[in-house]
Homo-oligomer: A and B are copies of this chain.
Amino acid sequence: MRVEVLAVGTELLLGQIVDTNSAWLGEQLALAGVDSHFHQGVGDNQARIVLALRAALARSDGVVVCGGLGPTHDDITRQAIAEVMNVALVRDTAIVERIAAMFRSRGRDMPESNNRQADVPVGATPIPQQLGTAPGLICPVGHKVVYALPGVPYELTEMFARGVLPDLRQRAEAAGETPAVIASRVVRTWGMSESGLAEVLAPRIDALDAAGGNPTIAFLASGIEGIKVRITAKAPATAADSAVGMLDAEEAEVRALVGEAVFGVDDDTMETVVAGMLAERGLTLGLAESLTGGLVASRLVGVPGASDWFRGSVVSYASEVKFTVLGLAEGPVVNEPAARAMADAACRVLGADVGLALTGVAGPDSQEGVAPGTVVVGLALPGRPTESLEFHLPGDRERVRQYAAISALDLLRRRMLGAPPATTTR
């Protein structure tokens, strides 16, 4: 199967938003073993959407169109597909009712314009909407197919997995294809530089190359998400398990070489990993945050079930709050003794087993004579003396805060493993 992506929206051509959907769809198609040779982007113009659809159908077996399914007069993907199919649009009353019910559940009447979202080209199959008001469409064009998905990323991703992928697989099978399975796994690291990681992994990468290049290893430096090591393996669909076996074996090789800098795989984040370790150990956590201003707390509560182990955070942005709420002695608040006192106070004030504290200077100005980018983390863990660690981060205010947050969580993670702190903070 060969399937292309067509992104619709004048705002994409004008650069008002960056098209992330095409990249996501491209990745999903690749993982499904579907070839994708062209991407197109086109504005909200029916003639040009039709041209782009025809060009795509002329050279591929299918097209995934995203965008242009909204309720306004700009949203004309439905009309363009109907023109390519050479059929009329017919209003589907079941879809109208579904949209109206979504509005009613929010205590509102459905605006007249939303009726347009219920228009379906004759012969097309709607993919029922679940997160937004726009249904998707599966539109046969001869023996080829056009899939239409809403442009809102979280609606698109859900609907692609539920409505498009199964149909694609069916078509591939009907065409007698025995597709290859491409599986990949991302090993996530924090606390090693990209060149350090490259040096450690170089012999392994050379060995894989020499052995035929399956699996492969590639890096991706991802800023505050650390450096990702991607392992990709290919196998015939009839032996899909062997791809997973290759990933398992290669992950073990990478872990053996990289050590504690590996904090997780795939969808693991520093906060889900720390959350799992706290829950496993039956420990509760309290925070005292100054320069990060609640960022560490807000990342942690993103983990479902956080209420089992997360007590809360005292965001002591004004120094006075450190004195009154946290009980610090009046004086300078950006140094190691202050960070340790904050960590102890987080345990005491919030009734937590573990106290993690961050103080520092995000910038752009110095504070107490301390340079921007200076961050001090305090950590109170049961059975260890309360400790502190100072480090210096590059970048602007936002980057300093983001790096400070993940570095503090990484320190907690390493200490729970009984390991030393990372030697590099980026």
A207 at the interface (CB under 8 A from B): no
Q: Is the CB of B12 within 8 A of A39?
A: yes
Q: Is the CB of B304 within 8 A of A293?
A: no
Q: Give residues of chain A (313-346) contacting chain B, Cβ–Cβ below 8 Å.
A: 313-318, 320-321, 324-325
Q: Is the CB of B321 within 8 A of A397?
A: no
CA distance A13 to B314 in the complex (A): 44
Q: Is the CB of B55 within 8 A of A30?
A: no
Which of A152, A223, A312, A399 is the most central at the interface, judged by chain B CB atoms within 10 Å of its CB? A312
Q: Pick from B25, B111, B223: contact of A195, CB below 8 A.
A: B111
A114 at the interface (CB under 8 A from B): yes
CA distance A70 to B321 in the complex (A): 44
Q: Which residues of B contact A349 (CB under 8 A)?
A: 324-325
Q: Give residues of chain A (14-31) contacting chain B, Cβ–Cβ below 8 Å.
A: 14-20, 22-28, 30
Please, which residue of chain B has its CB at the minimum distance from the CB of A113? B195
- Chain A contact-residue range equals 35 or more
Q: Which residues of B contact A195 (CB under 8 A)?
A: 71, 111, 113-114
Please, which residue of chain B has its CB at the minimum distance from the CB of A222? B17
CA distance A47 to B20 in the complex (A): 26
Q: Which residues of B contact A313 (CB under 8 A)?
A: 293-294, 313, 315, 317
Q: Which residues of B contact A230 (CB under 8 A)?
A: 16
9 additional A-B residue pairs with CB within 8 Å, beyond A13-B39, A111-B196, A301-B362: A12-B23, A15-B22, A16-B23, A111-B195, A294-B315, A307-B318, A311-B317, A313-B313, A314-B314
A–B pairs, 25, beta carbons within 8 Å: A10-B218, A11-B220, A12-B26, A13-B36, A13-B39, A14-B30, A15-B27, A15-B28, A16-B23, A16-B220, A37-B48, A38-B48, A114-B195, A293-B302, A294-B294, A294-B298, A294-B315, A304-B397, A311-B320, A312-B318, A312-B321, A318-B350, A320-B351, A325-B325, A325-B349
Residues of A within 8 A of B (CB): 7, 10-20, 22-28, 30, 36-43, 45, 48, 52, 55, 70-72, 74, 106, 108, 111, 113-114, 131, 152, 154, 193-196, 198-199, 218-221, 223, 230, 284, 287, 289, 291-298, 300-302, 304, 306-307, 310-318, 320-321, 324-325, 349-351, 362, 364, 392, 394-395, 397-399, 401, 424
